[in-house]
Amino acid sequence: MRFLFVMDPVATVDVNADTSFAIMLEAQVQGHRVDHCLPQDLFLVAGVLHAQVSRAHLERDPTEPIKLAQSEAVNLETVDAVFMRKDPPFDSNYLWASLLLEHLRGKTLVVNDPRGLRDANEKLYTCNFPELMPETMVTSHRERIRAFVTQVGGSAVIKPLDGAGGEGVMALIERDANFRAIIDTVTHNGRRLAMVQRFLPEYKQGDKRILLLGGEPLGAVLRVPKADDIASNLHMGGSAHAAYLDDADRHIIATIAPRLQRDGLYFVGIDVIGGKLTEVNVTSPTGIQQMMRLTGENLAAQVVAWLVEHAQNKPQR
Ligand X SMILES: Nc1ncnc2c1ncn2[C@@H]1O[C@H](COP(=O)(O)OP(=O)(O)O)[C@@H](O)[C@H]1O
Nearer to ligand X, 152 or 218 (CB): 152
Neighbours of 57 (CB within 10 A): 14
Q: How far is the CB of 126 from Mg ion (least distance, A)?
A: 11
Task: From the list Mg ion, ligand X, none, pick the one residue 149 interacts with, judged by a Cβ distance below 5 to 8 Å according to partner type.
Answer: none
Nearer to ligand X, 18 or 80 (CB): 18
What's 284's DSSP letter?
S
What's 63's DSSP letter?
T
Question: What phi, psi does 54 have (nearest 5°)?
Answer: -125, 135
Q: What angle do CA 91, 136, 192 make, to 5 degrees?
A: 40
Q: How far is the CB of 168 from ligand X (least distance, A)?
A: 7
Q: How far is the CB of 15 from ligand X (least distance, A)?
A: 22
279 touching Mg ion, by CB under 5 A: yes
User: In the chain, how many H helices and how many E strands?
Assistant: 8, 17
Q: Which is it for the CA torsion 9, 10, 11, 12, positive or negative?
A: positive
122 touching Mg ion, by CB under 5 A: no
Could you list the residues that contact ligand X (CB under 6 A)?
122, 134, 157, 159, 163-167, 169, 197-200, 203, 207, 225, 230-233, 271, 273, 278-279
113 touching Mg ion, by CB under 5 A: no
Nearer to Mg ion, 49 or 265 (CB): 265
Task: From the list Mg ion, ligand X, none, pick the one residue 116 interacts with, judged by a Cβ distance below 5 to 8 Å according to partner type.
Answer: none
With a CB cutoff of 8 Å and minimum separation 6, the contacts of 132 are: 126, 251, 252, 255, 256, 276, 277
